Amino acid sequence: MPDGIVIHTNIQDFRKQLRDLGDRITKRVALRAAAKGAAVFRDATRGNARAIAKSGTLARAIYMGKSRFIKERGSVAYFVSVRHGKTAGRKASKSAVTRLKQARKRGGKALPSRDAFYWRFVEAGHRIVPRGRGITGGERTRATKRSSFDAAGGRKTKPVEYLARAFRASQAAAIRAIEAELDRGIKAEEAKK
């Protein structure tokens, strides 16, 4: 499962207008428009995460960023994903002692964690395995244990697709935001000429 969802848009009406502006201005306008579209997805995903998780860690961990790996020349890409693991942000990676000291300085308020390591479990569901009976071993051994677990009627949690659901629900709004920002950016750049 990838870390986030990718959407590719190809809005023909604006391509000609962007070509007429020049490369540098085109990139700036396209970056702003792509950021607006990604922000719509990010906000929708955070809203869904707040509805399913009580602590707020999952919603705080959702972020958007500009992709550095663009294959096509002249393309712009943003992504929406979830911070997780050791690199979940500076606040989440501090040691417990450091966090406690900072909490005391602030009058007892602890720093909120942004490590939502469990986001995949929520999005895709998971098997409920008793303690000490985890699915371990090599690739083939784990596959065998999973299939025997499923055949024996092992319990699973239902997936709560907050990321995919937000993507499906806000596609039209994201495209409208991209179009509006492209239109505004093109008009603003043409007015400068």
What is the Cα–Cα distance from 96 to 32, expressed in whole angstroms?
38
- Report if residue 181 sits inside a domain: yes
> What's the mean pLDDT in 167-190?
88
pLDDT digits (tens, 9 = 90+) for 140-149: 998 998 888 8
- Report if residue 101 sits inside a domain: no
Q: Is the pLDDT of residue 92 over 50?
A: no
Please answer whether residues 177 and 37 qualify as being in contact, where contact means their C-beta atoms are separated by less than 8 angstroms. yes
Helix, strand or coil, per DSSP, at residue 72: coil
pLDDT of residue 2: 45
The count of domains in the chain is: 2
pTM, entire model: 0.71
Q: What is the DSSP string of 124-170?
A: H--B---TT----SSHHHHHHHHHHHHHTT--BPPP--HHHHHHHHH
18 and 64 inside one domain: yes
81 and 36 inside one domain: yes
> What's the mean pLDDT in 25-54?
88
